[in-house]
Amino acid sequence: MTHHTDTQKDSLIKEAGVMDSLQQTDSTEEAWIEVIHKMDSVYADLVHSQVELEVKNKALEEAQLFINSVLSAMTDTLIVCDTEGVVLQVNSALEKLTGKTKEDYLQHSLNEVFSEDSQAMLDFFPEKMRHESLIDCEVNVHCSDGTTTPLSMNCSSRFDASGILTGMVLIGRPLGELRHAYKKLNFAHNELQRTQQQLIHSEKMASLGRLIAGVAHELNNPISFIFGNMHALERYGSRINQYLNAVDAQIDPPELKKLHKELKIGRIQDDMDSLIEGSLEGAERVNNIIQDLRNYSGGQKEEYSFFELNTVIKKAVNWALKTDKIKPEIQYKLTDEIKINSCKGQIHQVLVNLIQNARDAMETVTHPKLILSTSVSDETVSIHVIDQGIGISEQDAKTIFDPFFTSKPVGQGTGLGLYISYGLAHDLNGDLIFKNNPQGGAEFTLSIPVGSKR
Ligand SMILES: Nc1ncnc2c1ncn2[C@@H]1O[C@H](COP(=O)(O)OP(=O)(O)O)[C@@H](O)[C@H]1O
Ligand SMILES: [Mg+2]
């Protein structure tokens, strides 16, 4: 725009003055002055609107830059289209993902953007656009190399300032990475499951190991004295044979008497009964151990039966501590003989677990003492396993019944003992609880109905 400087204005006035002097009339002079004032204000307005325009232009440019920077910073893909599905805008995330350029999209139909298998969904877009938005639908977009890539798409309607529907905005999240992450998660999950199974297996093997050690120890005694007895019987047998052969040969009675003395036949006769009795007793003990073993391994569901509880408690203590070189002092505070109707093997297994834990907790105690007590109330019998160990911290208390929770080093603890014991206790309609005792150490209480029936 051109500006008239003051000198230009002066010269205009001067020119007007010239005309004034020519026409020599006051009115024309006034008219001219008015024209000049008008021109002045028009110029001023023009200058003002020019400045305003420039400010607006700058703001517009800044807004454009801002929008562009937002569009190109987006990691999700963006497509803006009109109501006919003609693409009006895309962002660089889409260009990067598909390898296509803005020109490949602008003014083209949405149908060209998505692959065949996504067309059906696309057909619903115009309808959906009017009534609702589309959330998380999976679509495939064409890439420049002829392949397609999956997107999780959210679509929403777009309105102008007066609220009239003008098209839609489609935002897509590339699924490739998500899928990759899912795959990794799945793999990790499977791996975890596998390790857990291995752990369960190793717990089984560990308890099998303990069991075998116990069984071996238990069987050793009766078998060794059966062995001893059999050797004795073997020797006795050959001496008896020798004597009987002499009897058969009808040798002289004094000779026979001498032989009888030499072969100590009299002692053999005295010994025979106790040897046979001892062997039978040993065989019976072997038989009992095998019976116990059947209960313990509990392959099939164990039948309910009446049995004396105190015997089971004492047997569990023996089992649990059998292989220990240094045994804790054991104190029994048991009520008188009590017969209950329950599953002997399961109670035995829970007690063995509790006693082994108590022993482990007292590993650093100089004079470890284990107390086993019973109390009966309202048709329920409670067995308390009390140790003088480290007790259970508030933190651990929340998780000790969880499978695989263990504070013991790898290879020593699997964290399944209490989990299994808790399950067994509840299986018998009972409960397993614990507390720390004021004088230190933990107390686990297994309570079971005295005459529970399944
Ligand atoms: N008598 C106890 N005193 C202190 N902590 C115990 C006692 N019994 C169990 N715990 C805690 O509970 C955890 C879980 O026990 P358990 O399920 O038997 O598994 P594991 O003996 O293999 O560790 C133990 O590692 C230990 O931290
Ligand atoms: Mg344990």
How would you list the strands of the sheet with 87-90, edge to edge? Answer: 87-90, 77-82, 165-174, 148-159, 134-142
Length of the chain: 454
> CATH: 3.40.50.970, 3.30.70.990, 3.40.630.10, 3.30.450.20. Which one for 74-179?
3.30.450.20
- What pLDDT, on a 0 to 100 scale, did the predictor assign at position 384? 97
Domain boundaries, the chain: 6-71, 74-179, 300-449
Report which of residues 121 and 363 the model is more confident about. 363
Q: Residue 24 — pLDDT band, cuts 50, 70, 90?
A: low
The ligand that comes nearest to the alpha carbon of residue 442 is 1
Rounded Cα distance, 353 and 361, in Å: 12
Residue 422 tokens, joined: 């808790």
Residue having the nearest C-alpha atom to atom 12 of ligand 1? 400
Q: Residue 406 — pLDDT band, cuts 50, 70, 90?
A: confident
- What pLDDT, on a 0 to 100 scale, did the predictor assign at position 322? 76
* Residue 5 reports pLDDT greater than 60: no
CATH fold group of domain 300-449: Heat Shock Protein 90 (3.30.565)
Question: For the segment 89-109, what is each residue's pLDDT rounded down to a tens digit?
Answer: 999 999 999 999 999 999 999
- Reading phi first (left if > 0) and then psi (alpha if -120 to 50, else beta), residue 32 is in alpha
- What pLDDT, on a 0 to 100 scale, did the predictor assign at position 144? 93
* Residue 336 reports pLDDT greater than 70: yes
Report the range of poorest mean pLDDT among 113-117, 296-300, 334-338: 296-300
- What pLDDT, on a 0 to 100 scale, did the predictor assign at position 347? 93
Q: Residue 199 — pLDDT band, cuts 50, 70, 90?
A: confident
- pTM over 0.75? The answer is no
* DSSP 3-state of 437: coil
Q: What is the mean pLDDT of residues 423-450?
A: 94
Give the DSSP letter of residue 303.
P
% of the chain at pLDDT higher than 70: 87
Rounded Cα distance, 6 and 8, in Å: 5
> Across all residues in the chain, what is the average pLDDT?
86
Spell out the residues 6+ positions from residue 137 whose beta carbon is closer than 8 angstroms to its own: 121, 152, 153, 155
Question: For the segment 409-433, what is each residue's pLDDT rounded down to a tens digit?
Answer: 766 777 778 988 998 899 999 999 9
Distance 184 CA to ligand 1 centre (A): 33
Rounded Cα distance, 106 and 79, in Å: 10
Distance 419 CA to ligand 2 centre (A): 9
Distance 74 CA to ligand 2 centre (A): 54
* Residue 454 reports pLDDT greater than 50: no
**Cβ–Cβ under 8 Å, residues 174 and 149:** yes
Atom of ligand 1 nearest to the CA of 385: 1
* Residue 360 reports pLDDT greater than 90: yes
The ligand that comes nearest to the alpha carbon of residue 411 is 1
Smallest CA-to-CA distance from 354 within 343, 342, 346 is with 346
Mutate to test the pocket of ligand 1, among 364, 372, 396, 400 (most ligand atoms within 8 A of CB): 400
Q: Is the CB of 125 under 6 A from ligand 1?
A: no
**Cβ–Cβ under 8 Å, residues 448 and 425:** yes
- What pLDDT, on a 0 to 100 scale, did the predictor assign at position 130? 67
**Cβ–Cβ under 8 Å, residues 126 and 155:** no
Q: What is the mean pLDDT of residues 82-88?
A: 90
The ligand that comes nearest to the alpha carbon of residue 444 is 1
In the block, tokens 């397609």 appear at 148
The tally of CA atoms less than 13 A away on the side-chain side of residue 92 is 8
Residue 142 tokens, joined: 């064409």
Q: Is the CB of 310 under 6 A from ligand 1?
A: no
Report which of residues 253 and 325 the model is more confident about. 253
Mutate to test the pocket of ligand 1, among 352, 401, 406, 434 (most ligand atoms within 8 A of CB): 406
- What pLDDT, on a 0 to 100 scale, did the predictor assign at position 420? 83
Q: Is the CB of 385 under 6 A from ligand 1?
A: no
Q: What is the mean pLDDT of residues 379-384?
A: 95
User: DSSP letter string over 262-298?
Assistant: HTTHHHHHHHHHHHHHHHHHHHHHHHHHHHHHHHHH-
Distance 203 CA to ligand 1 centre (A): 14
Question: For the segment 277-333, what is each residue's pLDDT rounded down to a tens digit?
Answer: 889 988 988 887 776 666 555 555 678 999 999 999 999 998 888 777 788 999 999
Q: Is the CB of 405 under 6 A from ligand 1?
A: yes
Q: Is the CB of 396 under 6 A from ligand 1?
A: yes
* Residue 1 reports pLDDT greater than 80: no
Per-residue CA distances from 3 to 34, 36, 40, 48, 341 (Å): 19, 14, 10, 13, 115
Q: Is the CB of 413 under 6 A from ligand 1?
A: yes
Q: Which amino acid is at 141?
A: V
Distance 62 CA to ligand 2 centre (A): 70
Q: Please provide residue 378's backbone torsions phi and psi, each rounded to the nearest 5 degrees.
A: 40, 60
The ligand that comes nearest to the alpha carbon of residue 385 is 1
Rounded Cα distance, 391 and 414, in Å: 19
Q: What is the mean pLDDT of residues 141-153?
A: 90
* Residue 447 reports pLDDT greater than 90: yes
- Specify which of 207-216, 321-330, 348-357, 396-405 reaches the highest per-range mean pLDDT: 348-357
Q: Is the CB of 388 under 6 A from ligand 1?
A: no
Distance 418 CA to ligand 1 centre (A): 7
Q: Residue 20 — pLDDT band, cuts 50, 70, 90?
A: low
Q: What is the mean pLDDT of residues 218-226?
A: 85
- What pLDDT, on a 0 to 100 scale, did the predictor assign at position 16? 52
Atom of ligand 1 nearest to the CA of 444: 1
Atom of ligand 1 nearest to the CA of 420: 17
- What pLDDT, on a 0 to 100 scale, did the predictor assign at position 157? 86
Spell out the residues 6+ positions from residue 325 whose beta carbon is closer than 8 angstroms to its own: none
Distance 373 CA to ligand 2 centre (A): 20
Q: What is the mean pLDDT of residues 387-391?
A: 95
